[in-house]
Structure 1
Amino acid sequence: MSEDLRISTERSELDLALIHDFLSTRSSWAQGISLERVRKSIEHSLCFGGFRGVAQVAFARVITDYATFANLVDVFVLPEYRGYGYGKQVVRAVMEHPSLQGMRRFTLATADAHELYAQYGFTTPQRPATLMEIYVPDIYAVADRR
């Protein structure tokens, strides 16, 4: 099962139902997110689908202005396909994508994959005191169930 993934940025190839199911029920960061919110996020991002044959097994999304800033989010490999290097292949594809070169700032948030992302140059913020955020962890449970 260690064959390379075919990685595509074509939105039409993405399995929206699979992405939504993973994010809304199996991720630690987007529990309860609505299908419509996932659809909208994909529509407004540069997305990477990882495929074995015709089946999608991995995903990553980049929020970017294509000039100065990018934020890597929603990276996952389905549990049954983990341990074969597919996460590395997806992140490598993101980092090598021509439209994402020369960014002044490329960010991400991770709870447990620091070693993976460090291989691609990510570090803790050099000046964390300059960063601020508005973080509403239960937004999907509240907003998407109205």
Structure 2
Amino acid sequence: MEKSNLLQLIRIKLSEKIQNFENLIAETRASSNDTKSSMGDKYETGREMLQQEINNLQVQLNEILKQKDFLKTVLPKPSDKAEKGAIVKTEKGLFFISVSLGEIKVENEKIICISPESPLAKAMNSKIKGEIFSLNNMNQKILDIE
């Protein structure tokens, strides 16, 4: 599996998420402007709820933008230990230490994208092929690293 292809796929997924959040924010702002009422307090409560929703969406959008920036620091180079940019194969699956994106499919293989700050990435950090690490009292062996 080509790491540069994997990184490109992740960039595309993050861009799609960014576009979705931007659209949701725009739609929520538009509905906020549409809620004209002479009901006084009811109107203010509705506007405040919509503003809270916009703020929540903005926080999520900012997190994805941070992930996209961080992804620029992940280089498509071979790795011989579990570190940022490594694809680590264990008995439980394939893990790409990059950004927290969850499961994606590449070339008919499931790869789980995890952040270097995740407990799993920290447990396997700096380990090499053949080493065993423990997470939640469960041991896993590193079968391969790309």
TM-score by length of 2: 0.27
Radius of gyration: which is bigger?
A: 2
Where relative contact order (Cα < 8 A, 6+ residues apart) is larger, the structure is: 1
Higher helix fraction (1 or 2):
2
TM-score by length of 1: 0.27
